[in-house]
Structure 1
Amino acid sequence: MMPTQDRSTRRPRGRRGGTALAALAFAPVALSACGGGVTSDAADETATGRTVTVTNCGRELRFDSAPESVVGMMPSQTELLIRLGVADSLVGQAQTDTSALPEDIADQAEGVPVLSTDTPPAREDLLAAEPDLVVSPTEYEFTAEQGFASIEQLDANGARAYVATGGCADRRNTAEVTDVLTDIANLGEILRVPGAADDLAQAGRDRLAAVQAAVRDRPRPSVAQVYVEGNSLGAIGAGVEADIIEQAGGENVFDPDAPEFADFFAAEINPEEIVSRNPDAIVFGVASPGQQERTRAYLRETFPDVPAVQDDLLIAVPQSDLYPGTLGNIDAVETIAGRLYPEAF
């Protein structure tokens, strides 16, 4: 698995070409700010409810009534839909092998048809589900050249595509943890469950505020976030990953405004870059226990004199917690803060 969900076809910029970051460029990642406010047309009330208009990835999405046939294109999106109380509207879930749904809601997805396991669903499989709303982490899931249904094809079949705020192409490098709160608000309006959305968003804000209160006024440890594949090393310096470190109270040793992160949130680096920055902690995403152990072994062998290794502050985060449009971003903040400031929690 790749560090976040980014299957952009752009190759990451770095000091040398290599497999880790080249592969990262094709992983399912968050691309950019779809952002978007929600407006409703009070003069256009219908028997099925008010019209809702959402700006998403530069597109205007109009909903005259609540969608009734919804597809979650990643477990992270399926989780949001279930927590918003619309599990009965799900007609499909996709990329189900990329991460497990949380135990407290997993049973609510048991009867939902699986459209794909480790890649986005094929065009014909998605269209056969006859959705009227498809909720996705990125725009990659709608790449026609890959055999997926495009946004235009979905439109022609009566379906609207909503992309996570952190998953639009122009937002990837500046995405923030709180982008998921925008998604919750937008989906709450679209699906006509604003009360559930308000509760879910407030719970997220409260969790983030609790972390900020716990770490406030404490010395900030330096943190490097990396991705390891074999003997290739990548630095993650921008995007929601960088904001996760910031929200957790860490001081990122990589500058998101540095040239190597101008076009992509990550860059392949030489080990000397980590040694020279001498981080107090190293954060890395993992998709399996085996990957976690391999990464820990690499870091211990490669950086024995770095404080992060000497103090055993090697912090593994589930890769799925770094996907765009996921409550897992908040989980990642809590996980990292708990390791950086164990006395505060």
Structure 2
Amino acid sequence: MKHMKQPNLIFRGTAALGVVLLVSACGSGVATTPEKPGTTGGDYEPVTVENCGRTLDFSEAPSAVVGMSPSQTGLMLRLGLGDLLVGQAQTDTSDLPADIAADAEDIPVLSDDAPPTREILLGAEPDFVYSPTGYEFTAEQGFASIEQLEQAGVGAYTATGGCLERRNVGTVDDIFIDIENLGKIFAVPGAAAELAAQGQEDLDEVAEAIDGLQKLTVAQVFVEGTSLSAIGAGIEYDMIQTAGGDNVFSPEDPAFADFFAASISPEALAEENPDAVVFAVTGPEQETATIEYLRETFPDMAAVKNDRLISLSASDTFPGTLGNIDAVRQIAEGLYPDAFTGGRD
């Protein structure tokens, strides 16, 4: 692939560059099957789960949890575990969905636009910390490491798609692993099964709608000012595939062999001439700026000519969020609108 290089930026194992670093939950419904956390109709049975190459053992359900980003906080709320949350972090990076936002109003905020420091996190006295990526456990950044948390008796769980070894090969359905594991850890298997079933139903509806359609080519990019990067691996890549798109950048390209994103020149994107461009943004201003950049820089590109510029909330592209499922549907609707509006023959 021409004109591509690895970006000279620190990623947190998340979807985008620069400030696009954290996660948010999506609009899927809260589980309606109430369960008392820590019980399955009897005494708590010890649980063992695998997470990011580590084996986590629980002799009892955690009772003091910190959601290290809005997506993790939101998922805990959707599992009916809000009463266990003693802290929420990185709250300014994305909003919780309207239907659960009020449930988080009384949860102490430990940090706004970055992970909490080690002192602040441990000061909340959690016994379980749920993180979107491994970045939140980087001691060099002043955060509590997994080892330090273990020494303090705190269980540390990272979203499956945010594990370092999976960041380049993660898939949308990694979220189902997390839902199942949390259902076991907190002894709420019914709520977890219900939430997973709804998510799978949503994905199945998209698959049925796009079945048999000729695939459009898609480039997923991130624009910050005049800097352009392409996404060619990881959960973001799988989103395009699951939504019925044909990625013009892929893990087979050398630029994405070790990292899911790479800096790209405008010439490289113009050469691919995708039918659609997908991009993640943190808000309306970035969305407007990105669209203006794409239209001004690539007036002859098929995606621009046909107005197939699909904007996603950056929070929906990060590992460990139900928003991944929402993003799949949004991409599919942007690519094949007639398949979702009754216009398909």
Task: Specify the SS of the correspondent of 2:60.
Answer: coil
Is residue 49 from structure 1 mapped to residue 44 from structure 2 by the alignment?
A: yes
Aligned AA (2:88): Q
Q: Is the alpha carbon distance of 1:143 and 1:322 closer, same or farther for their aligned partners in structure 2, counting shifts above 3 Å?
A: same
What is the CA–CA distance in structure 2 between the aligned matches of 1:228 and 1:56, rounded to whole Å?
Answer: 32
CA deviations 1:128-171 (Å, max 9, x no partner) are 11111100001110111111111111111111000000011110
Aligned AA (1:221): L
Aligned to 1:216, which of 211, 218, 235? 211
What is the CA–CA distance in structure 1 between the aligned matches of 2:123 and 2:5, rounded to whole Å?
Answer: 44
CA deviations 1:87-131 (Å, max 9, x no partner) are 000000000001000000011110000000000001011001111
What is the CA–CA distance in structure 1 between the aligned matches of 2:303 and 2:72, rounded to whole Å?
Answer: 34
Task: Specify the SS of the correspondent of 2:262.
Answer: strand
What is the CA–CA distance in structure 2 between the aligned matches of 1:88 and 1:337, rounded to whole Å?
Answer: 36
Identity of aligned residues (%): 59
TM-score by length of 2: 0.89
- Aligned partner of 2:318 in structure 1 is 323
- Aligned partner of 1:141 in structure 2 is 136
What is the CA–CA distance in structure 2 between the aligned matches of 1:188 and 1:255, rounded to whole Å?
Answer: 33
Aligned AA (1:29): T
CA deviations 1:18-69 (Å, max 9, x no partner) are xxx333x3346279xxxxxxxxxxxxx9x84100001111111101111100
Q: Is the alpha carbon distance of 1:189 and 1:290 closer, same or farther for their aligned partners in structure 2, counting shifts above 3 Å?
A: same
Name structure 2 gaps, 5 residues minimum: 17-39, 341-345
Contact 2:117 2:142 in 1 (8 A): yes
Aligned AA (1:154): L
What is the CA–CA distance in structure 2 between the aligned matches of 1:238 and 1:253, rounded to whole Å?
Answer: 11
Bigger CA drift: 151-160 or 214-223?
151-160
Aligned AA (2:4): R
Q: Is the alpha carbon distance of 1:16 and 1:51 closer, same or farther for their aligned partners in structure 2, counting shifts above 3 Å?
A: closer
- Aligned partner of 2:4 in structure 1 is 15
- Aligned partner of 1:206 in structure 2 is 201
Aligned AA (2:226): N
**Where does structure 1 differ by over 4 angstroms across 4 or more consecutive aligned residues?**
none
Aligned to 1:266, which of 256, 261, 265? 261
Aligned to 2:104, which of 80, 84, 109? 109
Aligned to 2:167, which of 158, 168, 172? 172
Is residue 185 from structure 1 mapped to residue 171 from structure 2 by the alignment?
A: no
- Aligned partner of 1:131 in structure 2 is 126
Aligned to 2:225, which of 230, 234, 255? 230
Contact 2:5 2:255 in 1 (8 A): no
What is the CA–CA distance in structure 2 between the aligned matches of 1:240 and 1:267, rounded to whole Å?
Answer: 15
- Aligned partner of 1:29 in structure 2 is 14
RMSD: 1.7
Aligned AA (1:60): T
CA deviations 1:61-85 (Å, max 9, x no partner) are 1011111001100000001100000
Is residue 284 from structure 1 mapped to residue 279 from structure 2 by the alignment?
A: yes
Aligned AA (1:96): T
Task: Specify the SS of the correspondent of 1:67.
Answer: coil
What is the CA–CA distance in structure 2 between the aligned matches of 1:26 and 1:245, rounded to whole Å?
Answer: 21
Name structure 1 gaps, 5 residues minimum: 1-13, 32-44
Aligned AA (1:22): N
What is the CA–CA distance in structure 1 between the aligned matches of 2:141 and 2:194, rounded to whole Å?
Answer: 38
What is the CA–CA distance in structure 2 between the aligned matches of 1:56 and 1:15, rounded to whole Å?
Answer: 33
What is the CA–CA distance in structure 2 between the aligned matches of 1:27 and 1:172, rounded to whole Å?
Answer: 10
What is the CA–CA distance in structure 1 between the aligned matches of 2:309 and 2:316, rounded to whole Å?
Answer: 17
- Aligned partner of 1:39 in structure 2 is none
Contact 2:12 2:135 in 1 (8 A): no
| CA-CA distance at 1:280 after TM superposition | 0.5
Is residue 92 from structure 1 mapped to residue 78 from structure 2 by the alignment?
A: no
TM-score by length of 1: 0.89
